[in-house]
Amino acid sequence: MIEATRIRKAFGANTVLDGIDLEVGTGEVKAVIGPSGSGKSTLLRCLNLLEAPDAGTIRIEDAQVTAPRISQKEAHALRSRTAMVFQGYNLFRNRTALQNVMDPMVIGRKVPADEARARAQELLARVGISESTQAQYPVTLSGGQQQRVSIARALAVRPHAILLDEPTSALDPELVSEVLAVIRDLASERITLVIVTHEMAFAADVADRVVFIDGGRIVEQGPAREVIEHPQHERTKRFLREELGAP
């Protein structure tokens, strides 16, 4: 379970997160939506401290940090409880697909290589990466394949939650569905997910709850279908109208 309390973050004079509270229960799938620049990606990146919050408390299972004073050790402990899927995949370029999935186990968690290899092969098969593709370097893979490898990499460390930062935004339209199918599969297995996304139909369908952020604050939140199909706030309505292209 993830509990973020009163998270604040500013880049210079620009306040990006203005005291956000976010709670994600174990097994819950939470979608974070909002306009560009609303702070949704920054919020996600604060949860694993890729961005250092200026203030606030983050608790993930038994690890807790309170900004702004966070030691390297605390940060590492918090990060070890989650994994992240990036918009730009960020696979390790000097490692094959298989090594990308093995490394977090072997290097980060000291899992014996044989055991890590077996698990990596299993995870890659699960996201539809064939054995011959597993031996390839990221540069030779399609965007959809890279993102599926990165999801396997995230699963490798058995995280308490996976943070997905616009996982399909960099993909060619015809590759989006293969990645969404994998995420849908994770959701059906009750893996805790926090997804920042522009895929409204997908969010309505897969997420349990949706949080709408604008101007660094939570404007509206609730059960996914309810928020997306019957938004209460004017700003949410306007955003969804623009996003869905509906009249």
Partner 1 sequence: MDLDPGYMLGVLPELLPYLPVTLLIAVVSMVLAVLLGLVLALIRFARIPVLDQIAQLYISLFRGIPTLVQLFLIYYGLPQLFPAMSTMSALTAAIIGFSLKEASYLAEIFRAALASVDRGQYEAGLATGMTRVQVYRRYIIPQAAFNALPATGNIFVSLLKETSVAFTLGLTEIFAEAKIIASSSFRFFETFLVVGLVYWVMVVVYSWLQQRLEQRLGRAYRR
- The reply to whether 82 sits near partner 1 by the rule CB under 8 A is yes
Residue with tokens 């059906």: 188
30/81 with CB nearer partner 1? 81
20/44 with CB nearer partner 1? 44
Among 76, 230, 237, 241, the residue binding partner 1 under the rule CB under 8 A is 76
Q: Which two tokens stand for residue 246?
A: 């509906």
- The reply to whether 109 sits near partner 1 by the rule CB under 8 A is yes
90 CB burial (10 A radius; 0-12, 13-18, 19+): middle
Distance CA 208, CA 174 (A): 26
> Which region among 35-43, 136-144, 175-183, 238-246 touches partner 1 (by CB under 8 A)?
136-144
Instruction: Give the CA dihedral 170, 175, 180, 181, nearest 10 degrees.
Output: -160
Among 6, 15, 137, 226, the residue binding partner 1 under the rule CB under 8 A is 137
Among 139, 189, 246, 247, the residue binding partner 1 under the rule CB under 8 A is 139
Among 1, 10, 50, 170, the residue binding partner 1 under the rule CB under 8 A is 50
Number of residues forming the site for partner 1 (CB under 8 A): 31
Residues 6+ apart with CB under 8 A from 112: 106
Among 68, 108, 181, 238, the residue binding partner 1 under the rule CB under 8 A is 108
108/201 with CB nearer partner 1? 108
Q: How far is the CB of 49 from partner 1 (least distance, A)?
A: 8
Distance CA 207, CA 92 (A): 29
> Do residues 147 and 65 make contact, with C-beta atoms less than 8 angstroms apart?
no
Is 191 in a helix, a strand, or coil?
Answer: coil
Q: How far is the CB of 125 from partner 1 (least distance, A)?
A: 20
- The reply to whether 239 sits near partner 1 by the rule CB under 8 A is no
Among 94, 110, 173, 246, the residue binding partner 1 under the rule CB under 8 A is 94
Q: At how many degrees (to 10) do helices 143-156 and 173-188 cross? A: 20
- The reply to whether 95 sits near partner 1 by the rule CB under 8 A is yes
Q: At how many degrees (to 10) do helices 113-126 and 143-156 cross? A: 130
Q: Where are the alpha helices (DSSP H) in 189-222?
A: 200-206
Among 151, 154, 175, 228, the residue binding partner 1 under the rule CB under 8 A is 154
Per DSSP bridges, beta strands 63-67 and 82-85 are unpaired
Q: For binding to partner 1 (CB under 8 A), which residues are involved? A: 48, 50, 72, 76, 79-80, 82-84, 86, 88, 90-95, 103-104, 107-109, 137, 139-140, 150, 153-154, 156-157, 163
